[in-house]
Amino acid sequence: MLKAKSTLGVIFFPAYDWAISETHPEREERLLYTQDQFREEGLFDIQGITEHRPLRATDQDILRTHFCFPSVDAIATESHRISAGGAIQAARLVLEKETRRAFALVRPPGHHAMKVVQGNRGFCNVNIEAVMVEWLREHYGQKRIAIVDTDCHHGDGTQDVYWHDPDVLFISMHQDGRTLYPGSGFPEENGGPRAAGRTVNIPLPPNTSDEGYLHALEHVVLPILADFKPDLVINSAGQDNHYSDPITNMCFSAQGYARLNAMLRPDIAVLEGGYAIKGALPYVNLGICLAMAGCDYSAVLEPDFNPEQIREQPDTMNYIKRLCQQMTDVYFYPKPGSVEKEGHYFIRNRDIFYDTENITEKQREELKDCDSCAGIRIIQSRTRRTGACLGIELPFNCCPACEQEGYERFNRQHDGFQIAQMLDRKNKHYAYRP
Amino acid sequence: MRIGIDIGGTHTDGVLVDGERLIAAAKAPTLYDNLLESIGRVLSSILLNQDPKKVTTLNLSTTLNTNAIVTGNIDPVGVLVVGGPGIAVETYRVGSHYHLIPGSLDHLGTETAPLDSEELQTVVAGCFEKGVKTFAVVSKFSPRNPVYENLIRAHLQEQADFISSGHLISGQLNFGRRIHTCYYNSAVWRNFYTFSTALMESLQGFDIEAEVNILKADGGTMPMARALETPVQSIFSGPAASAMGILAITRTDTDSLILDIGGTTTDIAIFAGGQPLLEREGISIEGRPTLVRAIHVESIGIGGDSLLQVEQAAVLVGPQRLGPCMARGGALPTLMDAFNVLNLAAFGDVERSAGGVEALAVRSGMTGRQLAAKAVDTAINAISAKIEDLIALVNSRPVYTIHEILEDRPIAPAQLIIIGGPAAVFQELLRTRLGMEVVVPPLYEVANAIGAALTRSTAYLDLTADTAKGKVSVPRLAIYRSIPRSYDLDTAIGEARSLLIGDLEQAGVSISPEEVQITQADSFNIVEDFYTAGRNIRVVAQVQPAVIAHIDTGNTGVRVNSRT
């Protein structure tokens, strides 16, 4: 019988009773054929590969990560809680050393959900990786964490959650934002003023295939990881770079995905997008599982796989090589972005569009340039649905001055905000006003 | 009247039951090279002064096939496998005639590479040349499309004595398990066939005209005609017979645990709401996972004859067994001797127990009582830990819907039923340790034979429909036909139900529609290019193991005749 070189826990949760809508790509059927493939291959008969139930993320698990307006229940349905709970289970398995690695094969996905959530963006309500990371930091202490997002779409939500966090390195490899939703993810986006270089965006041209993708992994991602020395590597494992994906334009294969995982060696992988549910997902997911477990994956091939047909054109390959030559500088020699500052506060003003729900959020973020701690963060957020909302975040190492300021702002009466949320990591206090 | 016979490792047990009444019970030693003799002795005893013509049913649980595998008394099997992309086919190699035929089907059953018929001919010719006459034919994703298995079968038909086809063995997806199941099915077939012929002749000698059924590992039975098609299903039916016997004796309808404590091992099974819990996919044979459905039984290497050893002040109990306890003439002290020392039992020669335990204790600076107490503690702790692990395992089984995550009722056994030789000794100890009601039921010596007598047929099928392709398939019944676009989940459930009833009817068993359980019923929208192209429907139907009557234990007055 086959035996895993590294034990692997798989949280397989297809949510067979949940869909965004009947014909939406994010629907009940999405992981059905993956499960057929797993069953027929006898994946869980391999010694060392085990199947686990997801946990369920509580209000507290979500509110320590997100500002949810108007309320956590309005944002997170049971499906989101269980999907995030699947990621939490993956982290628990690894940190409790029950398995060496874990793969949360759960839906719905989460990497477009930002720090503030006012609704669904790009099929995502709750950032399941971020909820997982904050859960494990709360239970196992502040860790250095690297999140490598290999979904075809820029992981703008995860980037936003960790924009100011120097202990979380976020690397996203994706199809160039000039050609695909959400239209962001350029090298200039390299992290906030106190976390410069901790966000690395690698926009790959359309039709990038195995060689180009793995070139970027080898020449940009791996050297940066070697320097950052994270305690944990997390892969946001979107599968929509696949050559047969209906909503993207890349040419990645199941073999490519498997090799990516063999090279990256993530401790935890979390499923993100991927909607070629018959032709790609069964093979890609199998390849990822076998690679993570250290098993032979060389025969995991799509029936219509033809490497010659999907290979990059020479000029695409040249473009990727040139791009990669400059990319490590983003991390090693980060250029300061244009930072707006009012008094002691860094200011960001943004409009954020929620495509699924067709609403626009107006957001103003203030981050205190505090010498004694990571700094209080104050976010004002407004949509036509919720009116004016206020979010206050106090960091783990919050200093007394920031703490006092935060609670003063939170407890202020008649300040014009309909809803205010306190996200106090130091005292583990997560509450709404009123 | 019904007869139940369980041919176990050491004993062959038999009972005669009329309705709820146990009429007679008997035990005989199991004679491996003459099982018919063991059966004959038991039958003579229980049929004494009875009219054998009144026996309507004879159910037999036998270790014949298990034993054939263990001793290597099996046929060479030509294993012909069609793989395709994925985990290498070589992984599942079994037997000395294992061959890969190129070709491939995908998870929808669509052909993605043609079958290499030249290679097939070469391989088959080679097998016949070597005198191989039984075959196992398995292709990847054959439950979705049996075309390759049927093709190879047709190619073999004339010259083969017996062929196991993957899709007919089980509709469940699991390529490796399907290969192993078919292999063992073919490997034991000839021996089983010979036995069944002799058995039928022998029953005629007893004037028994009853229908004969064979026990399966899932606690149900199959008619002899079916057993000749799938003899592999009879493997490991012994523990299942015991579990069904407990059900017949205790009428348990709550969540409960069953402990069968023997000389060497303790077997633990779990009942949810009075129904035995089955393995998720199937049992392993010689370490190879199969699709043989079975009652989930966990074994732990602790029993009455488990050897006591001292290692760095810790007292070890089992898993070794070198002989019987000293109280029964053994050479070294065992767990049973420890019970004697603590006055928890008074079994056999209590003095010998005391002497043996004392001798072991002195060497490590303990008194006999100290050592015995530690030994009993170790054993009780190990059994309790195993029980807790099993409950945790059962309650953490994966589920795939939000509804199940939110609504699933955890299994919480409140009752422990103990059977086996040393059962009574464990009763109080386990009650204290686990805080559960602990029951030692009557008649447990022949629970296995009672279970065999009173259990009914079980059956199982998977139905998959794809209205976009316009096809429905029920692999185990070899049904692959066209359906209209209007075919929906309710139609599928109705069809699965009536097919299962019809299947059992054909085997001579009649059940009512309510007895068919639908364990999965899902309908998925198949979406192509953002419009709904049809529905993918999955239905699993089963008839659970159940006993047809409960034994009246009030005052049976039946003594087990052990002098057969």
Can you read off the two tokens belonging to residue B210? 């009853």
Output the DSSP codes for A73-111.
Answer: HHH--HHHHHHHHHHHHHHHHHHTTSSSEEEEEESS--T
Q: Are B419 and B242 in contact (CB under 8 A)?
A: yes
Residues A356, A247 share a domain:
no
Which helix (H) or strand (E) element contains residue B126? helix B117-129
Residues A81, A169 share a domain:
yes
Nearest to B182 by CA among B173, B170, B191: B170
Output the DSSP codes for A217-273.
Answer: IIIIIHHHHHHH--SEEEEEE--TTBTT-TT---BB-HHHHHHHHHHH--SEEEE--
Residues A272, A244 share a domain:
yes
A112 as an active site residue: the answer is yes
Please tell me the distance from the alpha carbon of residue A195 to that of residue A168, in angstroms, as a whole number. 9
What residue ranges of chain A have pLDDT lower than 70? none
Can you read off the two tokens belonging to residue A160? 């936003």
Indicate yes or no: CB of B400 within 8 angstroms of CB of A28.
no
Torsion of CA B411, B415, B418, B419, to 10 degrees: -80
CB neighbours of residue B556 within 10 Å: 16
| Chain B residues within an 8 Å CB radius of A299 | 85-88
Instruction: Give the residue from chain B lying closest to A81, CA to CA.
Output: B402
* 3-state class (DSSP) for residue B179: helix
Please tell me the distance from the alpha carbon of residue B59 to that of residue B452, in angstroms, as a whole number. 6
Residues A361, A270 share a domain:
no
Last residue of a domain, one of A311, A332, A353: A332
SS3 content of chain A, % helix, strand, coil (to 5): 30, 25, 40
Q: Are B268 and B390 in contact (CB under 8 A)?
A: yes
| Chain A residues within an 8 Å CB radius of B534 | none
Question: Looking at the partner chain, which of B91, B113, B400 has a beta carbon nearest the beta carbon of A14?
Answer: B400
Selected for mutation to probe chain A from B139, B288, B405 (highest A CB count within 10 Å) is B405
Please tell me the distance from the alpha carbon of residue A386 to that of residue B308, in angstroms, as a whole number. 72
Residues A230, A197 share a domain:
yes
The one-digit pLDDT tens for each residue of chain B (564 residues) are 999 999 987 889 999 999 999 999 999 999 988 999 999 999 999 999 999 999 999 999 998 998 899 889 999 999 999 998 999 999 999 999 999 999 999 999 999 999 999 999 999 999 999 999 999 999 999 999 999 999 999 999 889 999 999 999 999 999 999 999 999 999 999 999 999 999 999 999 999 999 999 999 999 999 999 999 999 999 999 889 999 999 999 888 889 999 998 888 899 999 988 889 999 899 999 999 999 999 999 999 999 899 999 988 789 998 888 888 999 999 999 999 999 999 999 989 999 999 999 999 998 889 999 999 999 999 999 999 999 999 999 998 898 888 888 888 889 999 999 988 788 889 999 999 998 999 999 888 889 999 999 999 999 999 999 999 999 999 999 999 999 999 999 999 999 999 999 999 988 888 888 889 998 999 998 888 778 889 999 999 999 888 999 988 775 667 778 766
Please tell me the distance from the alpha carbon of residue A290 to that of residue A284, in angstroms, as a whole number. 10
Selected for mutation to probe chain B from A11, A16, A278 (highest B CB count within 10 Å) is A16
Residues A269, A380 share a domain:
no
Q: Which residue in this structure is represented by tokens 């500088």? A: A329
Kindly report the nearest CA distance between residue A280 and chain B, in angstroms: 12
- Per-domain residue ranges for chain B? 2-70+192-243+549-561, 77-177, 459-543
Residues A17, A100 share a domain:
yes
User: If contacts are CB pairs under 8 Å, which of residues 389-448 in chain B contact chain A?
Assistant: 396-403, 405-406
Indicate yes or no: CB of A78 within 8 angstroms of CB of B522.
no
Indicate yes or no: CB of A42 within 8 angstroms of CB of B176.
yes
Helix intervals (H) in A277-313: 281-292, 307-310
pLDDT in tens, A118-141: 999 988 999 999 999 999 999 999
* 3-state class (DSSP) for residue A290: helix
Last residue of a domain, one of A332, A360, A390: A332
Please tell me the distance from the alpha carbon of residue B238 to that of residue B334, in angstroms, as a whole number. 25
- Catalytic residue among A52, A66, A111, A112, which? A112
| Chain A residues within an 8 Å CB radius of B396 | 52-53
Q: Are A228 and A169 in contact (CB under 8 A)?
A: yes
Question: What pLDDT shows up at residue B424?
Answer: 85
Output the DSSP codes for B495-517.
Answer: HHHHHHHHHHHHTT----GGG-E
Can you read off the two tokens belonging to residue A389? 């909302």
Sequence-separated (6 or more) residues with CB below 8 Å from residue B123: B78, B80, B99, B101
Domain range for A25:
3-332
Residues A352, A310 share a domain:
no
Question: What pLDDT shows up at residue B508?
Answer: 80
DSSP state of A295: -
Question: Looking at the partner chain, which of B402, B524, B529 has a beta carbon nearest the beta carbon of A78?
Answer: B402
- Number of structural domains (chain A) is 2
Give the type of residue at B313.
Answer: A
Q: Report the side by side order of strands in the sheet with B162-165.
A: B98-100, B77-82, B134-139, B162-165
Task: Specify whether domain B2-70+192-243+549-561 bears CATH 3.10.50.40.
Answer: no
CB neighbours of residue A351 within 10 Å: 8
Instruction: Give the residue from chain B lying closest to A281, CA to CA.
Output: B107
Selected for mutation to probe chain A from B87, B112, B531, B532 (highest A CB count within 10 Å) is B87
* 3-state class (DSSP) for residue B188: helix
Instruction: Give the residue from chain B lying closest to A24, CA to CA.
Output: B530
Nearest to B283 by CA among B13, B475, B140, B69: B69
B160: left (phi over 0), alpha (psi -120 to 50) or beta: beta
Beta bridge partners of A204: A175
Q: Which residue in this structure is represented by tokens 């920031």? A: A402
Q: Are B375 and B425 in contact (CB under 8 A)?
A: no
Question: What pLDDT shows up at residue B563?
Answer: 67
Partner A contacted by B91 (CB < 8 A): yes
Indicate yes or no: CB of A32 within 8 angstroms of CB of B140.
no
Kindly report the nearest CA distance between residue B172 and chain A, in angstroms: 8
CB neighbours of residue A220 within 10 Å: 22
Question: Looking at the partner chain, which of A42, A278, A296 has a beta carbon nearest the beta carbon of B177?
Answer: A42
Question: What pLDDT shows up at residue A241?
Answer: 95
Question: What pLDDT shows up at residue A20?
Answer: 85
Measured N-to-C along each axis, helices A78-95 and A128-140 cross at an angle, to the nearest 10 degrees, of 40
Pairing of strands B275-276, B266-272: antiparallel
We report the CATH number of the domain holding residue A103 as: 3.40.800.20
| Chain A residues within an 8 Å CB radius of B106 | 303
Kindly report the nearest CA distance between residue B527 and chain A, in angstroms: 6
Question: Looking at the partner chain, which of B287, B402, B522 has a beta carbon nearest the beta carbon of A82?
Answer: B402
Question: Looking at the partner chain, which of B104, B289, B536 has a beta carbon nearest the beta carbon of A303?
Answer: B104
Question: What pLDDT shows up at residue A227?
Answer: 98
Last residue of a domain, one of A297, A332, A367: A332
Indicate yes or no: CB of B401 within 8 angstroms of CB of A15.
yes
Beta bridge partners of B555: none
* CA atoms A38, A44, A46, A50: torsion sign: positive
Question: What pLDDT shows up at residue B219?
Answer: 94
Report chain B's C-alpha Rg in angstroms.
26
Residues A8, A123 share a domain:
yes
Residues A254, A389 share a domain:
no
Nearest to A274 by CA among A148, A120, A114, A153: A153
Question: What pLDDT shows up at residue B382?
Answer: 95
Contacts 24+ apart (CB under 8 A), A401-408: A401/A370, A401/A372, A402/A368, A402/A370, A402/A372, A402/A373, A402/A375, A402/A376, A403/A376, A405/A368, A405/A376, A406/A376, A406/A378
Pairing of strands B288-289, B2-7: unpaired
Selected for mutation to probe chain B from A2, A26, A45 (highest B CB count within 10 Å) is A45
Residues A260, A324 share a domain:
yes
Contacts 24+ apart (CB under 8 A), B475-483: B475/B142, B475/B143, B475/B146, B475/B167, B475/B168, B475/B170, B475/B171, B476/B167, B476/B168, B476/B169, B476/B170, B476/B171, B477/B503, B478/B146, B478/B167, B478/B168, B480/B145, B480/B146
Question: What pLDDT shows up at residue B554?
Answer: 73
A317 by Cβ neighbours in 10 Å (0-12 / 13-18 / 19+) ranks as: middle
Partner A contacted by B251 (CB < 8 A): no
Question: Looking at the partner chain, which of A29, A39, A296 has a beta carbon nearest the beta carbon of B527?
Answer: A29
Nearest to B449 by CA among B201, B248, B226: B248
The ipTM (two decimal places) reads 0.92
Q: Are A23 and B531 in contact (CB under 8 A)?
A: yes
Question: What pLDDT shows up at residue B557?
Answer: 67
Please tell me the distance from the alpha carbon of residue B427 to that of residue B441, in angstroms, as a whole number. 11
Sequence-separated (6 or more) residues with CB below 8 Å from residue B118: none
Give the type of residue at B461.
Answer: L
Report chain A's C-alpha Rg in angstroms.
21
* 3-state class (DSSP) for residue B27: strand
